[in-house]
Structure 1
Amino acid sequence: MPAARESLLDAAYTALARRPWAGVRMVDVAAVAGVSRQTLYNEFGSKDGLARALLRRETDAYLRGVERALAQARDPVDRLAAVSAWTIGAARDNVLVRAVLTGFWGERLPMPSRAAVSSSPVPAQRRADAGVPTPAELLAQVRDRAMAALTERGRPSETEELARACESAVRVALSYVVAPAGREEDPARLVRRVIAGAAGRQPAGVSAPSPTAGGR
């Protein structure tokens, strides 16, 4: 029941914004979603299963945003800057994305966990039960997506430098997630400088920004 599942996840996310996860009740989630409590348990199995599904959904939504940023018709440096901007914005607006990216889990949030062996008849729940990536694993997934996007039309040479540029873009973004910038700071400009100066040369497919790029 995809529609019911999404409604339940929406209801759980809304409930989490109002109270700590420990205070979120399954019966209330089901009532807000307009389905029976039995439907909730059929979809997720337990409250822990609901938490895993919610974390998986928000993580997947973040990764889809990364792919959208990389798909924009821009030069490679701007595309990596767009990934950084998306990462900062997603972490600012979504406490679960911020926690998955940084590994900082407060008492209000559901802790990431993995089912020992998922027996759920729902394919989406079996995937959710596998758990969400660690911050290091998530960073690697973003880096690999960026590398794939930036080399799809170019030469796959100098892979190490390209990987460093892609990872640096995300790490710069994460530094702004942990220590938010002041209004006058432009994270995208810093990303461009970091990439342009990586290893003292340009990675394959990543050209130096123009003299006016920092002001775009």
Structure 2
Amino acid sequence: MAAARELLLDAAFMALDRRPWPAVRMVEVAAAAGVSRQTLYNEFGGKDGLARALVRRETEGYLAGVERALAGTGGTWERLTATAEWTTAAARDNALVRALLTGCWSERLPRPWRDPVRVPAPRRAERPLPTPPELVRMVCDRAVSALAAPGAGDAATAELARSCELVVRLALSCVAAPPAEGGVAELVRAVVPHPAR
């Protein structure tokens, strides 16, 4: 069933690329995935459940990209720059990631938390989707965990956390007003304090 779930999520994402979410029809999503409409309903409970699962998958994909950027080679500055560049690229290329990071949901996009009363009982146990401030905090926490030097004192860790938050928020500003080519790295260089480089 996991393969069918991914096929359905892929089909829903492609449908969303072609038309606004309110115009996406479940029967078309099922047909594009090559499964029955009943399979789609069994898996997600309805269109709202499909929307939640789609947004959750895009959130997890974005965070996996953050993890890859932080695990890269180089020092703190290079890995923070890679995280900022990933954030701006992911938000530029994926309307759901952009909405998750900025809180700006257009009428074209699904609103996965619209009516919690109608959430089917098995789905109520799902953890809620992160708000933009929670998502920023998750990225910052991952960055501090990946970049903190072993045995670093509280002051050094606090300074690293501050640098991480500055870089993430800088990346978000680049989503709203993209810099010139290569501009993200230059902006990160300008705001990250010298000890973190």
TM-score normalised by L of structure 2: 0.92
Q: Which amino acid aligns with 2:41?
A: Y
Equivalent residues of 2:45, 2:120 under 8 A apart: no
Q: Could you say which residue in structure 1 is the equivalent of 2:161?
A: 163
Q: Could you say which residue in structure 2 is the equivalent of 1:212?
A: none
CA shift for structure 1 position 161: 1.3
Q: Which amino acid aligns with 2:7?
A: S
Change beyond 3 A, Cα 1:152–1:51: farther
Out of 170, 173, 183, the position equivalent to 1:172 is: 170
Q: Could you say which residue in structure 2 is the equivalent of 1:97?
A: 97
Out of 116, 119, 122, the position equivalent to 2:121 is: 119
Gaps (5+ residues) in structure 1? 208-216
TM-score normalised by L of structure 1: 0.84
Q: What does 1:1-216 correspond to in 2, within 5 Å?
A: 1-113=1-113, 115-116=116-117, 119-120=121-122, 129-151=126-148, 153=150, 155-158=152-155, 159-183=157-181, 186-196=183-193, 202=195, 206-207=196-197
- Structure 2 distance, partners of 1:154, 1:89, is 33
- Structure 2 distance, partners of 1:60, 1:153, is 27
- Structure 2 distance, partners of 1:192, 1:144, is 21
Change beyond 3 A, Cα 1:156–1:70: farther
Q: CA RMSD in A?
A: 1.7
- Structure 1 distance, partners of 2:178, 2:192, is 20
The count of aligned residue pairs is 194
- Structure 1 distance, partners of 2:20, 2:128, is 20
CA shift for structure 1 position 130: 3.2
Equivalent residues of 2:148, 2:160 under 8 A apart: no
- Structure 2 distance, partners of 1:196, 1:18, is 43
Gaps (5+ residues) in structure 2? none
CA shift for structure 1 position 186: 1.3
- Structure 1 distance, partners of 2:112, 2:41, is 19
CA shift for structure 1 position 193: 1.7
* SS of 1:162 mapped into structure 2: helix
* SS of 1:9 mapped into structure 2: helix
Change beyond 3 A, Cα 1:104–1:191: same
Moved more, 95-104 or 107-116: 107-116
Query: How big is each residue's C-alpha offset from its partner over 1:75-116, in whole Å with a ceiling of 9 and x where there is no partner?
Result: 011110110000000001101000000000111001130745
CA shift for structure 1 position 126: 6.0
- Where do 4+ consecutive residues of structure 1 move more than 4 Å? none
Equivalent residues of 2:8, 2:33 under 8 A apart: yes
Q: Which amino acid aligns with 1:38?
A: Q
CA shift for structure 1 position 152: 5.5
Identity of aligned residues (%): 59
